Amino acid sequence: MKFWMGMAAAAAMVLSGCQTQNPYTGETETSNATRGAIFGALGGAAIGALTNTSSGKQAARNALIGAGIGALAGGAVGGYMDAQEAKLRQRLRNAGVSVTRVGDTIILNMESDILFDLGSDRIRREFNEPLRAVSLVLEEYDQTYVEVFGYTDTTGSREFNQDLSERRAASVAQMLVAFDVMPQRIIVRGFGETRLAVPTKDVVNEPRNRRVEIQISPFTS
């Protein structure tokens, strides 16, 4: 955790010197070239730090408390998540991201065929804006955990699929951090081919199983 906080701080220093203000929206923006440089600087070490989920939500909880972010009281959770869901639906309309609500958890589903080229963990340039839109909402509603999960279909070996799912989830998490989401909130995990959205036999090309999910849940007391 300390390692990743240090890496994030270094990235923030680079970002602060390379940001401009959009004259139409008034929002601070970072160029794609700058983000690419940051990802290159962080490299595999940052991915390793993000995917270290041994402590899971407890570590994220401790980090949120340490950052001075207050937990939501029970009676406030529903309205808080309702407002966040509405904002996400508004910003992600026609963006290739589905928004689903399960209890107090919001699930954003992105098919990997939209996000990545075949076998790659590099996010396509055209998907920067949808992830930026997600990040803006996550910044506004910061009393939440952000879990990024990667999944594959059953083509390829189990080992390859597990590794690819982890790398793709980490790439999405890194993009969220580059768009200023606090890294301490993020939990990353790859499930490979073990949690299929559409049950299939082995070696079946099913696009709906190749996906990355962002699950947003409330930070409660």
Domain residue ranges of the chain, discontinuous segments joined by + = 2-218
Closest C-alpha among 218, 151, 219, 148 to residue 186: 148
Q: Mean pLDDT over residues 2-12, rounded? A: 44
Question: Going by C-beta distance under 8 Å and a sequence separation of 6 or more, which residues neighbour residue 183?
Answer: 4, 5, 8, 50, 173, 177
Q: Mean pLDDT over residues 150-163, rounded? A: 96
Q: What is the pTM of this model?
A: 0.78
Q: Mean pLDDT over residues 47-54, rounded? A: 48
Q: Mean pLDDT over residues 142-166, rounded? A: 96
At residue 51 the predicted structure's pLDDT band, cuts being 50, 70 and 90, is low
Between CA 56 and CA 132 the distance in angstroms is 25
What is the token pair recorded at 98?
């589905």
At residue 5 the predicted structure's pLDDT band, cuts being 50, 70 and 90, is very low
Q: Are 210 and 113 in contact (CB under 8 A)?
A: yes
Q: Mean pLDDT over residues 189-203, rounded? A: 93
Q: Mean pLDDT over residues 191-201, rounded? A: 94
The CATH code that applies to domain 2-218 is 3.30.1330.60
Of residues 44 and 91, more confidently modeled: 91
Task: Count the Cβ atoms, other than its own, within 10 Å of residue 151.
Answer: 25
SS3 percent helix, strand, coil of the chain, rounded to 5, is: 50, 20, 30
72 to 51, 69, 101, 219: CA distances (angstroms): 26, 9, 18, 6
Q: Mean pLDDT over residues 55-80, rounded? A: 89
163 exposed, middle or buried (CB, 10 Å; 0-12, 13-18, 19+)? middle
Q: Are 219 and 144 in contact (CB under 8 A)?
A: yes
For the chain, the average pLDDT equals 82
Closest C-alpha among 163, 169, 79 to residue 131: 169
Q: Are 180 and 16 in contact (CB under 8 A)?
A: no
